[in-house]
Structure 1
Amino acid sequence: MKIQFYAILVSLLLFFSCNSGSKSTIAKKIKKRIDYVNPFIGTGGHGHTFPGATMPFGMMQLSPDTRLDGWDGCSGYHYSDSEIYGFSHTHLSGTGVSDYGDILLMPTNKIIFNNGADGKEGYKSKFSHNKEIAEPGFYKVHLDDTNIDVALTVSKRSGIHQYQFPKNSKQIIILDLEHRDEVLDSKILVTDENTIQGYRHSKAWATNQQLFYTIKFSKKIKNISYLNEKTEGKSVKAAFEFDENDGNTIEVKVGISAVDIDGSAKNLEQEIGNKSFDEVKKIAQETWEKQLGKIVVEDKNENNKINFYTSLYHTMIAPNLYQDVDGRYRGMDLEINQTADFEYYTVFSLWDTYRAAHPLYTIIEQKRTNDFINTFLAKYDEGGIMPIWDLAANYTGCMIGYHAVPVIADAFLKGIKNYDAEKAFEAMKHSAMQDKLGLESYKKFGFIPVEKESESVSKTLEYAYDDWTIAQMAKSLGKENDYKIFIERAQNYKNVFDPETQFMRGRFKNTWFSPFDPYEVNFNYTEANAWQYSFYVPQDITGFANLLGGKKSLENQLDKLFTAKKETSGRDQADITGLIGQYAHGNEPSHHMAYLYNFVNKPSKTQEKVRQILSEMYQNTPDGISGNEDCGQMSAWYIFSSLGFYPVTPGSNQYIIGSPLFDKATINLENGKSFTIQAKNNSAENKYIKSIKLNGKNYEYSYLNHQDIINGGTLIFEMTNKPTNWGTKDAFIPSTEIKEHLIVAAPFIAKGDIAFKEKTTITLAIAEKDSQIYYSLGNGFEQYKKPFIISEKATFKVFAQKGTSKSAIIKTEFYKINPNIKIDLQSEYANQYNAGGDNALIDGVLGTEDFRTGTWQGYFDTDIIAIVDLGAVKPIQQLQINFLKDQRSWIFLPKSVEIYTSIDGKVFKKIDNFSFPIPKNEEIVTIESMKLLKLGNARYVKVIAKKLGTLPTWHLGFKENGRSWLFIDEIQIN
């Protein structure tokens, strides 16, 4: 009787609490996880996400397109826009380059093929965010201009559009195969009264993207109109008209495939078939609910939960499935392959995601991690190399490093091994032994010289970390010789460390690239400056600290980083956002930095900085991400950090402890166990750790081992409002340190000019002081003891030795400039393109076709005016001047070059006006020379190179009101 009474009482309480209009505790508990996902986060600012419907790691991303191109149009949608062009089926999430946007459909009420982007009448429509809904697996919007309601939902490789037309309105659906990127070929084939099929092959970032489609309308096609009556080619559009008397709703089911038309039909039939819109939506959202349940957070702060589950959602959009239901896929050789052993994926933004997204997958996506690695190995077989940034069966050649390598090593060392480990190691070594992208120099010298390869500092640092992960896997496999080779290469970071400035710097002809400004964004770094790359030594933080002078010096340098002025100089770099001092959270090279305080016994500083970043850089707003979302990396940082730890060094099996954001979080593992993190006495003020218990025992270590998570258990934090001594003892701090097979860093020219007039005094130095330096000027090597003088052209060689270990021998050519020749530059060059300084145009060093190798002098939006003084009047037989043309990089030839001569430097006579051709829309990079013969007697030669100025209308930068660069090298006068 009592049991029945209490049951009735509880039922009544539940009834009244759920129907009282208040948000009760019980009502909150039954709220779904998908309700905490806000797909609009990241669609504003520079987040570059899309709000449309997709499945976890699915092939289709069915989303509205509001922007056709431009930096903030990368995903096809930007929250600041007010017009929708239509709904396409492929989109990239948070990338820095636009691609995809395939197979655009748009419901309308008149036959019109123009999209309206030109300001004329088009099929686009205005819309309002007030009439727009975005949820995992579902999107809905009202088109204001036509009064049509659009709803979208998806399965993995297929989706459904639902169009609700107003009564008595014409019902027309536009299919635009020309939409977005450059079309190589496309086709529309009507197969029955409800079905059309075809393909769209296009070129953008992926230069040969092939997509096939099957589209089934729920109503019979009444009439079809084609643009220019064409059903095949580069400009194919169609308008499908339906009978408005046959109901106001049309459902459009779409299947896609990268294989062939039959594949798209099979994908549609097997995944959706006769299912209704609501059935597909229900399956999609149930799938997302289960997927998001891999980590369950509990907290009073609703916005934090929204940020968390949206971040988790974003980490599960890419990589994308790239395989049909029958196991077929298009490989990197563009041939059709098949496998039933694993699922094949594309969109690996590895420079971003190896840092935290893939380590997150080793915890919550172990099966899929095996599939990712098997995909890498398949791509290695198909294309000859593992992907760096692959997209739609294309190697894009984008970004740096060979970061499939740490993804494999990190997984392997964590026990995720459902692939051929020997083949994986072979592929890892193969990536590291190439001769492209600066690797030839890197292997030879232990660093990449500025003059040999762009972004040389970043590449040297990233290669060194990648090599460390190869070494760790080699050691695990018992491959001692490989271990020695790659653990030595892992120390190459020492070769770009300048002990005087304490920064990682570019080595230009074995001197430091100068003048040096650590705030300057230039071609020595990847999307960064010296501040933002100089801390990137996750594999040997102890060794790096020793170079700086010890742990206290590293701490001081970190303090300077976070308190430095926020401004950058040099090149405008849109990726550098989310600045705290010079820490740039909006870009990946900074992501580990706040956690480095743990390595110097100051975990409270990590806790403070991590909480600041969590609260300032992630907001529940469209512009709530501080930079590009980057296929899950920005979100993975939030997930890890809000849980209370972060993988500073993937491959070490350690996570560095920060400051947990949530009262409670539970990681539900694939092995059936769970790992629960609790933060007692937690609040915005209580961000410091007082104590930790792991599985009931006191835990003093400021890092966590991977196996502790996988074994399941509890991690309980006791939080407080002031810094404590927890985790500060040497015995409890994390450490990465290379202790064996230590290398000798290569010495450098600390002072002296490579190109000089009378003479130059050479001072040599080395990053590590306890090595001996030996040099040669052609007559054998001698030990360096003090600065020496070079007064003639010379070939100089130098190396360092410590015990029996030697550095690489570095060779430098010294040039003697005719002391009688002078140059007066009356225009200002950009420091990042100074080519060696004021004498660069007469130093005898010629530029190469890569403008980023430091040998060209660059001038932005200005004419070049230079006067060469020959020192005396003499007959001039020939004048030659070299200019670079690299129009993709906004570097154009001058419109014209005026040449004047003078006897006294006051009165100049015009000798010639050399005109270059009007620039054409072409991507070839060339060095163009202008040459004049027999200029007569003169002492002074004046050169005026006229800038192009405003970019041509066909250039991508024209819409941004872009201006041209002039790149000039030697002015050779004989």
Structure 2
Amino acid sequence: MFKWPFKFLSIFIISFCVANGYAQQINKAKKLIDFVNPFIGTGGHGHTYPGATMPFGMMQLSPDTRLDGWDGCSGYHYSDEYIYGFSHTHLSGTGVSDYGDVLLMPTNTANFNNGADGKSGYRAHFLHKNETASPGFYKVLLDETNIEVKLTVSERSGIHHYTFPKNSKQIVILDLEHRDKVLSSEIKILSKTEISGHRHSDAWAKDQRLFFNIEFSRPYKNVTFLDDKREGKKVKAAFEFDPSVGNELEIKIAISAVDEAGAKKNLKTEIGDKSFQQVKTEAETAWEKQLKKIEIETQNENQKTIFYTALYHTMIAPNIYQDVDGRYRGMDLQIHQSNDFQNYTVFSLWDTYRAAHPLYTIIEKERTNDFINSLLAKHDEGGILPIWPLAGNYTGCMIGYHAVPVIADAYVKGIRGYDTKKAFEAMKHSAMKDKLGLKSYKEFGFIPVEEESESVSKTLEYAYDDWTIAEMAKAMGKMEDYKIYTERAQYYKNVFDPETKFMRGRFRNTWFAPFDPYEVNFNYTEANSWQYSFYAPQDISGLINLMGGKAAFENQLDELFTAEVETSGRQQVDITGLIGQYAHGNEPSHHMAYLYNFVNKPSKTQEKVHQILNELYQNAPDGISGNEDCGQMSAWYVFSAMGFYPVTPASNQYIIGTPLFESATINLEDRKSFKIEAENLSDKNKYIASVTLNGKPLNRSFIYHSEIMDGGKLVFKMTDKPSTWATKDEEIPKTEITENLIVPAPFIAKGDVAFKNQTEISLGVVSAKTEIFYSLNDSEFKKYNQPFTISEEIILKTYSKKDNAKSAILTTHFYKIDPNLSITLQTEYANQYNGGGKNALIDGIHGANDFRTGTWQGYHDLDLKATINLGSSKEVNTVSVNFLQDQRSWIFYPTEVICSVSENGTDFTELPIKKIEAEKPSEETEIKTIQFEVAKNIQFIKIIAKNLGDLPKEHLGFGGKAWLFVDEIEVK
């Protein structure tokens, strides 16, 4: 159990033990739960919570110190000084807020104000020195009221234990309005010691349904309801207890997503008449059993704490989402019965498919079957495998269809306690949809920027997901499917620019420009090109070849880790933990340090992994370099500290890095164990001199899943200098696609899609010895040999061919801008929303509803000021300008649009100003055309569109600045 701060006490104990030769004995004598510090990740951007929960439990009973904001996603932040109360559901390490259901708060006044306005209320001040947390237990002293709070849990239920000051008022607030938008809620009084009710809410999960049952250890004296309401959207109650009976009060509570009867049954079954201490002991026993799945030995208790806290964090989610009788609420929000598997929710799959789920295939085989059965049930109930399911809801968050690699990885590892045929069909169903860019992806072999946001990241991650389908198809003997999905797995090649050696957006078959690999824009998901250009884990050999071979690939990796740490473009809070442009705080980077093994340089992997382990994980509240993300940040640490990592889930390979501990033992479910030992290990001796597996030399820099699951011993001999271990070609890992090879689609290497006078067009393709064919305005295709020039509007069609294989046919519309027409911009647009460049507003190409597709020109906290020169005096009837509104994305209409016209460029006449109610709240994404009547001869037109500036108070981003998006100024 940790009581923060503990650093000086730990240092004293370690020093004393070492001096007396007893460090190792004491180290072994302590329980593993004593090495878990739940406060790690509660500061910075870790977004974890310190409260009590069970392994993969449904209840997370924890203090709430923050009501909103990105760093309040878990409800708690270490920098806060006030506790609003103790709610029963929390998310661990997510980047979006939800939960915080059913808040209870002991106090001494029946004040329903939560104190968030800074005025008196039921919130209370606390100090971290009076706060304690350990697995399954939390305690704090509310110093403002001198009330001690202790919390513990079972899987679906928990106990609050309050100790009030003697002779003080004893009041407990039940607040059902706390945090998320309430859809409906109710408190039912069943007796003086029992209440029940529900809270249905709208947040990340748009329709979360939760029911509760509460038992007080003694009768309340009286109860007061806010506005005398027991049901509705603002339901709060104050229960007062008689202080003469005693100063201690216990509250037992259970939750259910099914109904109040389910909550009551959960409470009776799990806790019943058990004491607080009994429930706490059971929770601690459960956690001790969980943590013993991996046992490490080290003299460094600080690192041991980091490791076991990381292992603890991998075991918090996914969460059980069914009652003790097997009933649960499905993705159709109906009640279902599970008899042969346990249903789970909270699958942060974009994060956890990378390492957390592969970790579960080693230490949670049976639970992995439950996870997959849960995903398949969600497919049956909701119509598709989920991407990020939460409390019976599809959140629509993140990209890819990463339930697919979770299933495929388990299948190829022999974990098959589910309907494998149904699983495979569900995987293909996800891959064959037309949503989220998949229609273009299937048709062209990549997603164009203008068709879908985050097009590069989606293309890359779909390609990996497809490879895992192919691997499962091959294992099942489905060779036709294997061919289809192996081909799709190579689509990553279509977004690789051979000139810059980066993954780039393809904008109307040209490369998105101007290009800056440091720029964070909507071609990528929470990243820039640096952080996605090494993502082809299914075909690393192919990626190495694209980059010019092993030496070039190694140099590019070196530059990744030594590049400037600043990013450009839009602010992205998820890009943290930077070493150069390697961003350990966000998942797309997690495999990159291990890629040196693939180019015969394992010592560089050892250097980088050692650095990340020691610098980016600390025994401190701000000890995780980014959002913990439901176990993925911690799973990287758990794997890497043991000495290996799953770079390519579904390959059955783990790439060796460098061990952090003298010994680590994985205790497998079949009672076998796999032991890892490191001889001659020290901070300087981070390099591997040699390795043995079960007493025999292991010269390759990877191990197989079966070698772990068969049990045995892996021994590292360490040294202080890079060695020649595993540096030969036959000793390095490979993931490569050698069958069903595709012909990458050609691209327009040079040429303006919207041009004046003429433009020269050059075509290119990423693969060598590949022919390109093109057609102009549906003429017969001919072979491309050299650049050609066009001077009129045309339709260009191209495809590439190699041997008997062909790429998709791509079509690009080239627009000719009136050569006499010009535009001067007096204000600067943001490059990531350049719309096509300086002529974007007069190029004849109109923006679509999705601002991320690159067709709009964006101005952040700036007015649009533009002057158009028609080239000569002309009769103009109307001038129109288009603006986009997407308030959820901070894009607002202008408050007013001013148009002035002139014949000589000096004397301007201002037309009637067009005013817009830009602040008016709207959930709709809309395009508004503002038109001015002119009806005179003019040559010059000035357009000024006033940016809203400060976001409205009711907006989620209040305190920030608005965006103004404009496209196409038309003159008729």
Q: TM-score under structure 2 normalisation?
A: 0.98
The range that moved more, 935-944 or 961-970, is: 935-944
Give how far 1:214 is off.
0.3
- Cα deviation code 1:555-583 (max 9, x no counterpart): 11101100101000001000000000000
Structure 1 residues 876-915: aligned runs within 5 Å = 876-915=876-915
Structure 1 residues 686-701: aligned runs within 5 Å = 686-701=685-700
Q: What residue number does 2:613 align with?
A: 614
Structure 1 residues 224-303: aligned runs within 5 Å = 224-303=223-302
Give how far 1:935 is off.
4.1
Number of equivalent positions: 955
Structure 1 residues 572-651: aligned runs within 5 Å = 572-651=571-650
SS in 2 for 1:305: helix
SS in 1 for 2:912: strand
Q: What residue number does 1:816 align with?
A: 816
How far apart, in 1, do the equivalents of 2:738 and 2:28 lie?
52
SS in 2 for 1:369: helix
How far apart, in 1, do the equivalents of 2:246 and 2:271 lie?
22
Decide whether the 8 Å contact of 1:754 with 1:814 is kept in 2.
yes
Which residue identity is paired with 1:953? K
Q: What residue number does 1:846 align with?
A: 846
Decide whether the 8 Å contact of 1:598 with 1:606 is kept in 2.
yes
How far apart, in 2, do the equivalents of 1:431 and 1:865 lie?
45
Structure 1 residues 377-396: aligned runs within 5 Å = 377-396=376-395
Q: What residue number does 1:944 align with?
A: 944
How far apart, in 1, do the equivalents of 2:722 and 2:162 lie?
58
Q: 2:960 pairs with 956, 959, 962, which one?
A: 962
Which residue identity is paired with 2:271? I
How far apart, in 2, do the equivalents of 1:86 and 1:455 lie?
39
Q: What residue number does 1:972 align with?
A: 970
Unaligned runs of 5+ in 2: 1-15
Aligned: 1:933 with 2:937:
no
SS in 2 for 1:539: helix
How far apart, in 2, do the equivalents of 1:820 and 1:54 lie?
69
Q: What residue number does 1:739 align with?
A: 738
How far apart, in 2, do the equivalents of 1:503 and 1:307 lie?
35
Q: What residue number does 1:409 align with?
A: 408
Decide whether the 8 Å contact of 1:217 with 1:251 is kept in 2.
yes
Give how far 1:427 is off.
0.3
Structure 1 residues 915-926: aligned runs within 5 Å = 915-926=915-926
SS in 2 for 1:325: coil
Which residue identity is paired with 2:571? D
Give how far 1:22 is off.
9.5
How far apart, in 2, do the equivalents of 1:897 and 1:607 lie?
59
How far apart, in 2, do the equivalents of 1:497 and 1:907 lie?
51
Aligned: 1:561 with 2:560:
yes
Which residue identity is paired with 1:963? K
- Cα deviation code 1:412-448 (max 9, x no counterpart): 0000001111000000000000000000000000000
- Cα deviation code 1:242-297 (max 9, x no counterpart): 11111100000000000000000000000000000000000000110010000000
Q: What residue number does 2:3 align with?
A: none
Structure 1 residues 9-158: aligned runs within 5 Å = 24-158=23-157
Give how far 1:956 is off.
1.1
How far apart, in 1, do the equivalents of 2:305 and 2:935 lie?
73
Structure 1 residues 830-845: aligned runs within 5 Å = 830-845=830-845
How far apart, in 2, do the equivalents of 1:491 and 1:756 lie?
33
Unaligned runs of 5+ in 1: 1-16
- Cα deviation code 1:51-100 (max 9, x no counterpart): 00000000000000000000100000000000000000000000000100
- Cα deviation code 1:613-643 (max 9, x no counterpart): 0000000000000000000000000000000
Q: What residue number does 1:857 align with?
A: 857
Decide whether the 8 Å contact of 1:900 with 1:912 is kept in 2.
no
Q: What residue number does 2:661 align with?
A: 662
SS in 1 for 2:537: coil
How far apart, in 2, do the equivalents of 1:971 and 1:214 lie?
61
SS in 1 for 2:530: helix
How far apart, in 2, do the equivalents of 1:97 and 1:340 lie?
32
Give how far 1:219 is off.
1.0
Decide whether the 8 Å contact of 2:224 with 2:238 is kept in 1.
yes
Give how far 1:347 is off.
0.2
- Cα deviation code 1:675-715 (max 9, x no counterpart): 00000000110000001110010110100000000000000
SS in 1 for 2:244: coil
The range that moved more, 690-699 or 872-881, is: 872-881
Q: 1:807 to 1:178 in 2, by over 3 A?
A: same
State the 4+ residue runs in structure 1 displaced beyond 4 angstroms: 20-24
How far apart, in 1, do the equivalents of 2:402 and 2:154 lie?
30
Q: What residue number does 2:12 align with?
A: none
Give how far 1:221 is off.
1.4
The range that moved more, 869-878 or 122-131, is: 869-878
Which residue identity is paired with 2:50? P
- Cα deviation code 1:908-955 (max 9, x no counterpart): 111121000142222211001111223422110100001111111101
Q: What residue number does 1:190 align with?
A: 189
Decide whether the 8 Å contact of 1:186 with 1:232 is kept in 2.
yes
Structure 1 residues 418-817: aligned runs within 5 Å = 418-777=417-776, 778-817=778-817
Which residue identity is paired with 1:761? E
Which residue identity is paired with 2:906? K
Give how far 1:957 is off.
1.2
How far apart, in 2, do the equivalents of 1:29 and 1:694 lie?
26
Which residue identity is paired with 2:170? Q
SS in 1 for 2:243: coil
Give how far 1:145 is off.
1.0
SS in 2 for 1:216: strand
- Cα deviation code 1:320-364 (max 9, x no counterpart): 000100000000000000011000000000000000000000000
Decide whether the 8 Å contact of 2:794 with 2:814 is kept in 1.
yes
Q: What residue number does 1:313 align with?
A: 312
Q: What residue number does 2:7 align with?
A: none
SS in 2 for 1:544: helix
Which residue identity is paired with 1:577? T
SS in 2 for 1:397: coil
Decide whether the 8 Å contact of 1:911 with 1:935 is kept in 2.
no
Decide whether the 8 Å contact of 2:871 with 2:939 is kept in 1.
yes
Q: What residue number does 1:4 align with?
A: none
How far apart, in 2, do the equivalents of 1:586 and 1:478 lie?
39
Give how far 1:879 is off.
1.3
Decide whether the 8 Å contact of 2:700 with 2:732 is kept in 1.
yes
Give how far 1:26 is off.
2.8
Q: What residue number does 1:179 align with?
A: 178
How far apart, in 2, do the equivalents of 1:633 and 1:240 lie?
41
How far apart, in 2, do the equivalents of 1:145 and 1:956 lie?
31
How far apart, in 2, do the equivalents of 1:810 and 1:22 lie?
73
Give how far 1:964 is off.
0.6
Decide whether the 8 Å contact of 2:894 with 2:946 is kept in 1.
yes
Which residue identity is paired with 1:854? G
Give how far 1:647 is off.
0.1
The range that moved more, 901-910 or 658-667, is: 901-910
How far apart, in 2, do the equivalents of 1:676 and 1:143 lie?
45
SS in 2 for 1:543: helix
Give how far 1:552 is off.
1.1
Decide whether the 8 Å contact of 1:542 with 1:737 is kept in 2.
yes
- Cα deviation code 1:137-192 (max 9, x no counterpart): 00000001110000000000000000000000000000000000100000000011
How far apart, in 2, do the equivalents of 1:795 and 1:230 lie?
67
Q: Equivalent pairs: percent with the same residue? A: 68
Decide whether the 8 Å contact of 2:899 with 2:932 is kept in 1.
no
Q: 1:24 to 1:602 in 2, by over 3 A?
A: closer
Decide whether the 8 Å contact of 1:200 with 1:210 is kept in 2.
yes
Q: What residue number does 1:372 align with?
A: 371
How far apart, in 2, do the equivalents of 1:562 and 1:145 lie?
48
Which residue identity is paired with 1:440? K
